[in-house]
Structure 1
Amino acid sequence: MKTLTHISIEDYLLQESQAEYKSEYHAGEIVAMAGAKFPHNLVVNNLIYLLNTCLWKGKCQVIPSDLLISLPECEKFVYADVTIVCDKVALGEQRYGMDVLLNPTVVIEVLSESSELYDRVEKFACYKTLKSMQQYVLVDSRKVLVETFTRTAENDWLLKSVNDKAKKIKIGDCEILVEDIYHHVVFENQ
């Protein structure tokens, strides 16, 4: 990710509505989104398939990475790799044809070398400010590792970490075999 310029939210939304490439808004700065490696894209695709299969008939909806999420307390607009919304989808006031999600229930970020620190620390801190957020999931694209942070009734976040392909992990209402998340993924060190 690379910071390009200082800009207002209004100007960002106008620019983003016309852009060929995605960028995020970070408190006045536009941050261009880097392209992802093949394993990252496979993991995202597998997650969308598995979650859609699990949630197809229920109240939750799976949303891919092209919908902006508003994080007003952090003055950010971001894209998540995969989002689940389990209530009625709440969208902010549409400007310039851009829909902005206000109420994600589960956010999944697939980690890469360039995004890991940001996803683990700053982005997670901002997602936690949303009352709708119940779970934050980090999936490593370079090795087998799935981490879920689940909000408790006391507003704490419990971590569950799985690095065994034979185990299952709970994402939202779905029990998913870790091996299925990494279906067809070949790691660089193999």
Structure 2
Amino acid sequence: MAVSLQKMTLADFLAWEAHQPERHECFRGKTFARVGGTARHNRVILNLASRIGDHLDGTGCQVFAQSMKVQVADGVLYPDVMVTCGKAQAGDEQIVTDPRLIVEVLFPSTRGYDKRDKFVAYRTLASLREYVLIDPAKRQVEVFTLVDAGAWLLTDQSTAGVLSLTSIDCQLSMESVFKGVESQAQ
């Protein structure tokens, strides 16, 4: 679980975090140190970013992984993988305000935070069309797709052979999503 450090304004947070060696999130006025991940967690993030990036080549969309911030109504968060559209070339931006797709790769200590609090925050973004939760140890894949204003459809794709990301018209084999990743011993 992330540990609350202190309450500060968004401007104060951005100035403070620029000088920190670790990443932090600012949510509802509180600042949280982010926990490190595992090799399994990182491998899934890299697999997704690489394959989504290949899919987006030549489009007006870009994929980012781990170190890009997303500004939400109540703060700044770091998604594991996100896609933003409308600008084909990356510049010196540090914050994205218009992600179309956000993927969180679950870590045991932050699972509840990603499933509840982060999803509530991300849903405030008018641009967001899809939110994906991936548990790499259990190979569980849940995809939330915006179907109507404010209505999200959950599709459990855990047993599917393909991860379907309709927001970016992308199909990825589950084999490629979990390539190089051990499943958790049962």
**TM-score by structure 1 length?**
0.89
With over 3 angstroms needed to count, the CA separation of the structure-2 counterparts of 1:101 and 1:158, relative to structure 1, is: same
The answer to whether the aligner puts 1:76 opposite 2:75 as a matched pair is yes
The alignment covers a number of residue pairs equal to: 181
AA partner of residue 13 (structure 1) = L
Q: Which residue of 1 aligns with 2:179?
A: 183
Question: Take 2:63 and 2:146, find their aligned partners in 1: how far apart are those partners?
Answer: 19
Question: Take 2:72 and 2:161, find their aligned partners in 1: how far apart are those partners?
Answer: 33
With over 3 angstroms needed to count, the CA separation of the structure-2 counterparts of 1:55 and 1:186, relative to structure 1, is: same
Deviations 1:16-54 (A, max 9, x none): 111110000022211000000110000001001110111
Q: Which residue of 2 aligns with 1:36?
A: 37
| CA RMSD across the alignment | 1.8
Q: Which residue of 2 aligns with 1:59?
A: 60
AA partner of residue 113 (structure 1) = P
Structure 1, unpaired ranges of 5+: 90-96
- On the 8 A contact 1:62/1:83 being kept in 2, the answer is yes
Match of 1:173 among 148, 154, 169: 169
Question: Take 1:111 and 1:76, find their aligned partners in 2: how far apart are those partners?
Answer: 20
Match of 2:133 among 127, 133, 138: 138
Question: Take 1:154 and 1:14, find their aligned partners in 2: how far apart are those partners?
Answer: 35
Structure 2, unpaired ranges of 5+: none
**TM-score by structure 2 length?**
0.91
Deviations 1:134-188 (A, max 9, x none): 0001111211111111111343111111223x61121232111111100010134
The answer to whether the aligner puts 1:112 opposite 2:107 as a matched pair is yes
Residue 110 of structure 1: CA displacement? Answer: 0.2
Q: Which residue of 1 aligns with 2:145?
A: 150
DSSP 3-state at the match of 2:35: coil
Question: Take 1:181 and 1:127, find their aligned partners in 2: how far apart are those partners?
Answer: 23
Question: Take 1:88 and 1:176, find their aligned partners in 2: how far apart are those partners?
Answer: 23
AA partner of residue 52 (structure 1) = G
Question: Take 1:124 and 1:48, find their aligned partners in 2: how far apart are those partners?
Answer: 20
DSSP 3-state at the match of 2:31: strand
